[in-house]
Amino acid sequence: MAGVKRKITLSEILSIVTRPQTLSELYGQDKLVATLRNQMSKRPPQTFLFHGESGAGKTTIMRIMSKSFQCTHFKVWGDPCKACQINTSFAIHDINASEDRGVEEVAKIVELSRFKPTNSPKRVIMLDEVHGLSASAWKLLLKPLEEPPASTIWILGSSKPNKIPIEAKRRCTSYQLKSLGITAVEDYLKKTAAANKITKPLDTLFEQLHLLQINTPGFVLQALEAFASGATAVEAVAGLDESGVDSFRVAKAVTKGDWKGVIAELKTASPDQARLIRAVVAGYLKGIMTRESNGSSLDRAASSILDLCSPPPDDNMMMNWMWATLHKITKRYQVQR
């Protein structure tokens, strides 16, 4: 994470130590959980698709589901017992489709899906970021998704459901994970900090999360981890991007009038990262406004923030807009240095 130098041990990482193990522990998804449990009590599906923004909890709920299908001791469906939560011998296959997207890998799991497991009530196949599969891989999956054996459960997850073939969507029961509202983000932040004995004042971090519209539990946790480790609020949020794009460095390059520095970061950025880059730069500019007393510096930062306030509604145009807008702001800082 940007701005964080301290080495963090695995046991300290909030996204791991606070990860829900049951549906009852999921934060901010009460309606989805109620709908899911109602469906499981009446007409249980065998193919699921969970979709939502990055950090919304898709992988978490997929893993809870996988254990729920194995547990026969629960009091409420979706809340597997402690023993089943830690059992690693169940027939659960966890595949990141963005990495294992080849036809050969899919063919192997399709073949395996035909067989009843010997050590589990169900064979559960989880395909995360499933939109990353190739067209050929999807062709292999359509039949198994439509007519899975009674002993096989398919659970798909995606942050880009629009890239999933419509034929595959029709074969799945879909559930959307919602992002958190403003009040919920603040509540989640405070409760998590208190539970993990983080006493650092959170006002600036919450303000930055709100300003940048960071509203999924996964990203909130990452920001809190960085903030608690010594990063500023701006740096903590800039560190959310795991792609290698340093949004904080983009912001600094822009305000130095360094277009070459901006290019160096943006050339590896994807449209999905544009919103975070935009938000971090805007947050950095706001920070300048709170520190500056010079009229021209304030005007320059204010004008730049306004330039960032009107992104295109079409996500396909977001990256082009980002390049053009940051170039305009960088030129402003070059002229007025």
Q: Which residue has the higher pLDDT, 195 or 242?
A: 195
Residue 156's closest CA among 178, 139, 133, 134? 133
User: Residues 2-17: what's their mean pLDDT?
Assistant: 50
DSSP state of 100: -
Least confident piece of the model among 8-22, 208-222, 245-259:
8-22
Least confident piece of the model among 22-31, 188-197, 282-291, 298-307:
282-291
Q: Which residue has the higher pLDDT, 310 or 36?
A: 36
User: Residues 12-37: what's their mean pLDDT?
Assistant: 90
Q: Which residue has the higher pLDDT, 58 or 282?
A: 58
Task: Give the pair of three-digit tokens for residue 6.
Answer: 């301290």
In whole angstroms, give the CA distance from residue 225 to residue 221.
6
pLDDT tens sequence across 246-288: 777 888 899 999 999 999 888 877 776 777 788 778 878 887 8
Residue 36's closest CA among 26, 47, 28, 44? 44
In whole angstroms, give the CA distance from residue 278 to residue 305.
10
In whole angstroms, give the CA distance from residue 259 to residue 238.
19
Q: Which residue has the higher pLDDT, 17 or 112?
A: 112
User: Residues 37-44: what's their mean pLDDT?
Assistant: 93
3-state secondary structure of 126: strand
Phi then psi dihedrals of residue 49, to 5 deg:
-130, 115
pTM, two decimal places? 0.73
State yes or no: pLDDT of 59 exceeds 80. yes
In whole angstroms, give the CA distance from residue 268 to residue 10.
28
Tell me which H or E stretch contains 206: helix 203-211
56 close to 179: Cβ distance less than 8 angstroms = yes
pLDDT at 336: 60
Residue extent(s) of CATH 3.40.50.300 domains in the chain:
29-176
pLDDT at 316: 73
Least confident piece of the model among 5-14, 18-27, 159-168, 267-276:
5-14
pLDDT at 1: 33
49 close to 158: Cβ distance less than 8 angstroms = yes
Residue 8: pLDDT band (50, 70, 90) is very low
183 close to 60: Cβ distance less than 8 angstroms = no
How many CB atoms sit inside 10 A of residue 84's CB?
17
State yes or no: pLDDT of 137 exceeds 60. yes
Least confident piece of the model among 59-73, 84-98, 220-234:
220-234
State yes or no: pLDDT of 95 exceeds 50. yes
Phi then psi dihedrals of residue 176, to 5 deg:
-100, 130
pLDDT at 10: 32
In percent, the amount of the chain with pLDDT more than 70 equals: 92
Residue 70's closest CA among 49, 57, 87? 87
Q: Is it true that domain 29-176 has CATH number 3.40.50.300? A: yes
What's the mean per-residue pLDDT of the chain? 87
User: Residues 84-102: what's their mean pLDDT?
Assistant: 86
